Amino acid sequence: MTHPVLGIDIAKAKFDVCLLLPDGRLFRKVFPNTPPGFELLTRWLRQHTPEPVHACLEATGTYGVALALFLRDQQHVVSLINPAAIKAFAASRLTRSKTDRVDAALIAHFCASQQPPAWTPPTAEVQELQALVRRLDALVEMRTMERNRLSAGEPLAAVRGSIEAHLAYLMQEITQTERLIQEHIRQHTALHTQLLLLLSIPGIGPATAALLLAEINFAAFGNARQVAAFVGVVPRLRHSGSSVRGRSRLSKLGSSRARQALYFPAVTALRCSPAIQAWADGLRARGKCEMQIIGAVMRKLVHLAFGVLKSGRPYAPTLASRTL
Pair (28, 109) in one structural domain = yes
- Which residues are CB-contacts of 226 (< 8 A; sequence separation ≥ 6)? none
> What count of residues does the chain have?
324
- Chain Cα centroid distance, residue 205: 19
Does residue 84 sit within a domain?
yes
Q: Residue 298 has what pLDDT?
A: 93
Report the domain count for the chain.
Answer: 3
* More confident of the two residues 315 and 234: 315
Pair (17, 109) in one structural domain = yes
Q: What percent of the chain has pLDDT over 90?
A: 60
Pair (215, 313) in one structural domain = yes
Pair (163, 104) in one structural domain = no
Does residue 197 sit within a domain?
no
Pair (159, 253) in one structural domain = no
Q: Residue 253 has what pLDDT?
A: 58
pLDDT in tens, 108-152: 999 999 999 898 888 999 999 999 999 999 999 999 999 999 888
3-state secondary structure (DSSP) of residue 313: coil
Which domain-ending residue is among 79, 94, 114? 114
Does residue 36 sit within a domain?
yes
Pair (226, 258) in one structural domain = yes
Q: Among 81, 82, 57, which residue's Cα sits nearest to residue 67?
A: 57
- Is residue 232 scored above 70 in pLDDT? yes
Question: Could you tell me whether strands 54-58 and 5-10 are parallel, antiparallel, or unpaired per DSSP bridges?
Answer: parallel
pLDDT in tens, 141-159: 999 999 999 888 877 888 8
Q: What is the DSSP string of 14-67?
A: EEEEEEE-TTS-EEEEEEESSHHHHHHHHHHHHHH-SS--EEEEE--TTTTHHH
In single-letter form, the type of residue at position 94 comes to: L
- Is residue 190 scored above 50 in pLDDT? yes
- Chain Cα centroid distance, residue 174: 22
Does residue 54 sit within a domain?
yes
pLDDT confidence bin for 162, thresholds 50/70/90: very high
Mean pLDDT on 187-193: 95
What is the rounded end-to-end Cα distance, in angstroms, of the chain?
38
Does residue 295 sit within a domain?
yes
CB 33, CB 11: distance < 8 Å:
yes
CB 229, CB 251: distance < 8 Å:
yes
Pair (110, 128) in one structural domain = no
Q: Among 15, 19, 8, 16, which residue's Cα sits nearest to residue 51?
A: 19
Lowest-pLDDT range of 56-60, 66-70, 293-297, 318-322 = 318-322
Does residue 178 sit within a domain?
yes
Q: Among 60, 56, 41, which residue's Cα sits nearest to residue 4?
A: 56
Angle at which helix 157-187 crosses helix 189-199, to 10 degrees, equals 110
pLDDT in tens, 237-276: 454 444 444 455 554 556 678 888 999 999 999 998 888 9
CATH of residue 85: 3.30.420.40
Q: Residue 254 has what pLDDT?
A: 61
As a whole number of angstroms, the distance between CA 150 and CA 155 comes to 10
The total of other beta-carbon atoms located within 10 Å of residue 272's CB is 11
CB 234, CB 249: distance < 8 Å:
no
Q: Residue 322 has what pLDDT?
A: 52
Structural domain of 173 = 124-187
Q: Residue 249 has what pLDDT?
A: 53
Burial pattern 65-84, b for ≥16 Cβ within 10 A else e, equals bebbebbbebebbbbbbbee
Mean pLDDT on 84-113: 88
Pair (55, 110) in one structural domain = yes
In single-letter form, the type of residue at position 313 comes to: R
Pair (107, 18) in one structural domain = yes
Pair (136, 90) in one structural domain = no
